[in-house]
């Protein structure tokens, strides 16, 4: 229980001994006796404390008791404090009335009887205690009343704010440009705003079955339902764009939703929005179409520019060897050259004619690649043998530039792959030729062959079989290198690092494109590496390695012209049909030098007329002739002439060099197909093979 604090009594007298006497009399009351020797000191005490009674002496030097009493009564806090005047100066009624007029409760004449003083002061102490208790209760009651008033005011404010908030929510919901929906914890709809009802074409009374899912386009429904269920299970924010189908209208909408959680962390349901984004989707589609059209236009412009550059380069590459061929031919006709120059002229003509042949073959290959008509004749073969053959073909050109051709086959006796030997030889030849072309004099070109167990992942569009091993052929050089900006386009058709008229090297920019296509047709990959300009380059080909060893051994091709024995065709009757006189004369001269008896004609009708009288051992026939093409001629020979003329062996010699042309020639009845320009050695060998069957 809290101890009651003693009440205060103020004793005011200018005589200290009087204060001591009063203290002795009143000490038994247990009050807190505050003593002051002047009126000013007494007033200062009243500034801070409340007193049950004031015992005030009348006679004081600076300020008498009446003046002090007047000031005490002027203060609100001490206006009602009881004052008992104490005086020894006069007992006249005039002073007593003055004291009572100032609000004194008593007027005592010194000396004062202790018991009288005790009884009077005790009464005021009790009265102060009761008054103070009542004052405290009143104060508490007042505080409670004020608290109730504040609560009432706050409640009114809260209600007003709630009404305003509800009105604001209603206005926001009704006027919102996006649809709003609220569901319970199970996902059942409990509220939708007018915009939601308009977008989803549903009623203004939400039902448990009502949901934005009900309006989703059938093609998007499975995706929308699965993502919505996943959202309800995971609890993350939901965002999805789907199509809604209402009546005959299809519109795109963006659905967003999140969980509703109270301040007490209680899960209450879901709130979401539905926004019509049809116009945005249309704009995006229009922009995408514009971007596609711009990209297509830019691509077409780039392609046209590249083709224009290609045509210009093609013209240059075809005319350059023609200049040498025609120039040396005219000099030879002048017959003013010494034997050494004659040999040099023949070599120059042959070299430039071979270059033109390569250009034409590249163009035809690219044409077949573009149309998807390039065919491969794949069989098990030794990649080492093919590489050696290609290397020997390139060696004369490398020797002219004093370029060292180095090989490192890591002591492999055989690396067997499945492929078209001639096409793979073409791949390796192209890589070696490029390396030699772009390597300066006294440079170095190296060819490495090894076994690779894993390809760089960046080169693969899908995972290769885990058990697959690769034969890796790598050609490196010390040449001019490749600009890093051009490296990604190194295998593109019609692309060259330098297409200007000042370019240092020739070529059409087709060789590497053909290489990539042929390698990919062999289920392999090819890639290029270079540290930059003047840092050299490396080209790597990886082909699937056969696990089983095959007994087929590819022999290097014979490249020396006229390698057959002289007079290999002695006394063999041969009929040549070609509408071009120069071609007829060349073939006749070649075959007669080998001992053959040659007859030449310019049309298919002449062939049919002479077949019976000449009885040739073999027919060499051009395909493109004016009155009757070679296909029609061989069919008539096979079907209209009697034996043995109908069974006469025939070789098609034509400028149509595609694989489809070869198949057509063989299917029509020719035993062999040779493309122009024909190699003399190959022609003689083919005649011998066909006539000895």
- Model confidence pLDDT, tens digit, residues 522-574: 888 999 998 888 888 999 999 998 864 333 333 333 444 344 455 678 889 99
Residue 458 pLDDT level (bands cut at 50, 70, 90) = low
Q: What is the pLDDT of residue 91?
A: 57
The highest-confidence range among 173-177, 221-225, 260-264, 669-673, by mean pLDDT, is: 669-673
Indicate the helix (H) or strand (E) that contains 525. Answer: strand 525-529
Q: What is the pLDDT of residue 152?
A: 86
Q: What is the pLDDT of residue 367?
A: 66
Architecture of the domain delimited by 573-691: 3-Layer(aba) Sandwich (3.40)
- Is cis: bond before 644, omega within 30 of 0? yes
Query: Average pLDDT of 646-657?
Result: 87
Please say if the pLDDT value at position 497 is more than 70. no
Query: Domains of the chain: which residue ranges?
Result: 8-138, 176-276, 283-365, 377-544, 573-691
CA 287 centroid distance within chain: 20
Assigned CATH topology for domain 8-138: Rossmann fold (3.40.50)
Kindly report the average pLDDT of the chain as a whole number: 80
CA-wise closest residue to 409 among 388, 431, 430:
388
Matching CATH number, 377-544, of 2.170.120.12, 3.40.50.300, 3.40.50.1580, 3.30.565.10 = 3.30.565.10
pTM score, two decimals?
0.43
Q: What is the pLDDT of residue 562?
A: 44
Please say if the pLDDT value at position 226 is more than 50. yes
Q: What is the pLDDT of residue 583?
A: 83
The highest-confidence range among 157-161, 170-174, 387-391, 634-638, by mean pLDDT, is: 634-638
Query: Average pLDDT of 209-231?
Result: 82
Please say if the pLDDT value at position 150 is more than 50. yes
Q: What is the pLDDT of residue 599?
A: 93
Please say if the pLDDT value at position 420 is more than 60. yes
Domains 8-138 and 176-276 share a fold: no
Q: What is the pLDDT of residue 188?
A: 83
Residue 486 pLDDT level (bands cut at 50, 70, 90) = confident
pLDDT tens string 564-609: 455 678 889 999 998 888 888 888 888 888 889 999 999 999 999 9
Percentage of the residues of the chain whose pLDDT score is greater than 70: 85
267 torsion bin: left (phi>0), alpha (psi -120 to 50), beta (else): beta
Rounded distance between C-alpha atoms, residue 183 and residue 185, angstroms = 7
Please say if the pLDDT value at position 31 is more than 80. yes
Rounded distance between C-alpha atoms, residue 622 and residue 656, angstroms = 10
The pairs formed by 600-607 with CB atoms below 8 angstroms and a separation of 24 or more are: 600/575, 600/576, 601/575, 601/576, 601/577, 602/577, 602/578, 603/577, 603/579, 603/627, 603/628, 604/577, 604/628, 604/629, 604/630, 604/632, 604/633, 604/636, 606/577, 607/575, 607/577, 607/633, 607/637
Q: What is the pLDDT of residue 467?
A: 47
- Is cis: bond before 290, omega within 30 of 0? no
Assigned CATH topology for domain 283-365: Helix Hairpins (1.10.287)
CA 533 centroid distance within chain: 30
Higher pLDDT, 494 or 581: 581
Q: What is the pLDDT of residue 550?
A: 36
Rounded distance between C-alpha atoms, residue 454 and residue 363, angstroms = 34
Q: How many residues does the chain have?
A: 693
Rounded distance between C-alpha atoms, residue 176 and residue 193, angstroms = 8
Higher pLDDT, 242 or 308: 242
Q: What is the pLDDT of residue 557?
A: 36
CATH superfamily of 176-276: PAS domain (3.30.450.20)
Percentage of the residues of the chain whose pLDDT score is greater than 90: 7
Q: What is the pLDDT of residue 559?
A: 40
Higher pLDDT, 468 or 548: 468
């Amino acid at each position: 229980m809290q101890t009651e604090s003693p009440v205060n009594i103020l004793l005011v007298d200018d005589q200290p001994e009087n204060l001591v006497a009063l203290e002795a009399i009143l000490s038994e009351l247990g009050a807190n006796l505050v003593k002051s020797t002047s009126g000013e000191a007494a007033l200062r005490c009243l500034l801070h404390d409340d007193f049950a009674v004031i015992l005030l002496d009348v006679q004081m030097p600076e300020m008498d008791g009446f003046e002090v009493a007047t000031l005490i009564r002027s203060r609100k806090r001490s206006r009602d404090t009881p004052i008992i005047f104490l005086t020894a100066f006069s007992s006249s009624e005039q002073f007593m009335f003055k004291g009572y007029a100032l609000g004194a409760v008593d007027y005592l004449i010194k000396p004062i009887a202790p018991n009288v003083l005790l009884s009077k002061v005790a009464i005021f102490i009790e009265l102060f205690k009761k008054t103070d208790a009542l004052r405290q209760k009143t104060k508490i009651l007042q505080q409670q009343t004020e608290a109730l008033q504040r609560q009432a005011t706050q409640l009114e404010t809260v209600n007003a704010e709630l009404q305003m908030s509800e009105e604001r929510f209603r206005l926001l919901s009704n006027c919102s440009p996006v649809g709003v929906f609220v569901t319970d914890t199970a996902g059942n709809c409990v509220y939708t705003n007018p915009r939601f009802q308009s977008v989803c074409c549903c009623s203004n009374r939400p039902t448990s079955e009502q949901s934005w899912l009900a309006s989703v386009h059938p093609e998007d429904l499975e995706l929308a339902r699965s993502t919505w269920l996943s959202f309800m299970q995971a609890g993350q924010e939901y965002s999805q764009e789907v199509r809604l189908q209402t009546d005959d209208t299809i519109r795109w909408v963006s659905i967003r939703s999140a969980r509703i959680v109270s301040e007490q962390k209680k899960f209450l349901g879901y709130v979401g929005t539905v926004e019509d984004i049809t116009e945005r989707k249309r704009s995006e589609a229009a922009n995408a179409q514009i971007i596609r059209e711009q990209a297509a236009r830019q691509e077409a412009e780039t392609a046209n520019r590249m083709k224009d550059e290609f045509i210009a380069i093609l013209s240059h590459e075809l005319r350059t060897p023609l200049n040498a061929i025609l120039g040396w031919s005219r000099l030879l006709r002048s017959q003013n050259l010494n034997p050494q120059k004659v040999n040099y002229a023949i070599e120059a003509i042959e070299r430039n004619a071979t270059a033109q042949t390569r250009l034409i073959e590249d163009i035809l290959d690219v044409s077949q690649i573009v149309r998807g008509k390039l065919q491969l004749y794949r069989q098990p073969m030794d990649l080492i043998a093919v590489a050696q053959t290609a290397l020997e073909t390139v060696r004369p050109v490398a020797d002219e530039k004093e370029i060292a051709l180095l090989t490192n086959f890591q002591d492999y006796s055989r690396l067997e792959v499945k492929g078209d030997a001639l096409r793979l030889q073409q791949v390796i030849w192209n890589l070696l030729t490029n390396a030699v072309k772009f390597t300066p004099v006294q440079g170095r070109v190296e060819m490495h062959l090894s076994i690779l167990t894993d390809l760089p992942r960046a080169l693969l569009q899908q995972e290769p079989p885990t058990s697959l091993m690769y034969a890796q052929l790598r050609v490196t050089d010390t040449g001019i290198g490749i600009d890093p900006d051009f490296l990604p386009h190194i295998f593109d058709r019609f692309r060259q690092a330098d297409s200007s008229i000042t370019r240092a090297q020739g070529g059409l920019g087709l060789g590497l494109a053909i290489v990539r296509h042929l390698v990919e047709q062999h289920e392999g990959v090819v890639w290029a590496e270079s540290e930059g300009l003047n840092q050299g380059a490396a080209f790597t080909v990886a082909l699937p390695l056969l696990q089983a060893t095959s007994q087929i051994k590819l022999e290097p091709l014979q490249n020396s012209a006229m390698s057959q024995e002289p007079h290999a065709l002695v006394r063999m009757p041969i009929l040549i049909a070609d509408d071009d006189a120069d071609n007829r004369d060349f073939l006749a001269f070649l075959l007669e030098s080998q001992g053959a008896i040659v007859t030449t004609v310019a049309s298919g009708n002449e062939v049919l007329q002479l077949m019976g009288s000449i009885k040739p051992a073999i027919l060499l026939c051009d395909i493109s002739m004016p009155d009757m093409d070679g296909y029609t001629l061989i069919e008539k020979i096979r079907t209209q002439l009697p034996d043995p003329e109908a069974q006469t062996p025939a070789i098609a010699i034509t400028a149509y060099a595609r694989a489809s042309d070869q198949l057509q020639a063989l299917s029509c009845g020719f035993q062999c197909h040779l493309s122009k320009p024909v190699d003399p050695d190959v022609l003689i060998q083919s005649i011998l093979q066909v006539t000895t069957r």
